[in-house]
Amino acid sequence: MSTPLSRKEVRARLVACSVRIRRATARAQIRDWEDGGADHVLIARLDLIADELSGAARVYGPVASTRRAKVSRSVTIGAWAAAGAAVLWVAGPPGDPVTLALFVAGTGAFGLLFNYALWAVRGLGTVRALAEESVPMTEDVLADLRTELDDLEERLPADRADLVLRALEGAELWRGAALEHLRFGMPPGQV
How many angstroms from the chain centroid is the CA of residue 119? 17
Candidate list 6, 30, 91, 190; residue touching another protein; CB under 8 A: 30
Q: In terms of Cα–Cα distance, which of 77, 57, 60, 58 is closest to 69?
A: 77
x/- contact string, 74-113, with another protein (CB under 8 A)? -------------------xxxxxx-xx-xxx--xx-xx-
Cα separation, 14 vs 148, in Å, equals 9
The H-assigned helical ranges of the chain are: 7-34, 41-58, 67-91, 97-132, 138-154, 161-180
- Phi/psi class of residue 184: alpha, beta or left (left: φ > 0; alpha: ψ in -120 to 50)? alpha
In 3D space, the residue among 77, 70, 25 whose CA is nearest the CA of residue 46 turns out to be 25
Least gap, CB of 114 to another protein (angstroms): 10
Determine if 131 is a binding residue for another protein (CB under 8 A). Answer: yes
- Check binding of 175 to another protein (CB under 8 A): no
Nearest CB to another protein, comparing residues 9 and 115: 115
For residue 112, give the 3-state DSSP assignment: helix
Q: Does 189 bind another protein (CB under 8 A)?
A: no
The window from 4-12, 41-49, 139-147, 150-158 that contacts another protein (CB under 8 A) reads 41-49
Q: Give the gyration radius of the chain's Cα atoms.
A: 23
**Can you tell me which of 2, 3, 36, 67 binds another protein, judged by CB under 8 A?**
36
Question: For another protein, which is the closer residue by CB, 55 or 111?
Answer: 111
Burial class of residue 17 (count of CB atoms within 10 Å of its CB; 0-12, 13-18, 19+): buried
Q: Which is nearer to another protein, 100 or 154 (CB)?
A: 100
Residues that bind another protein in the complex, under the rule CB under 8 A: 22-23, 25-27, 29-30, 32-38, 40-41, 43-45, 47-48, 93-98, 100-101, 103-105, 108-109, 111-112, 115-116, 119, 123, 126-127, 130-131, 133-135, 173, 177
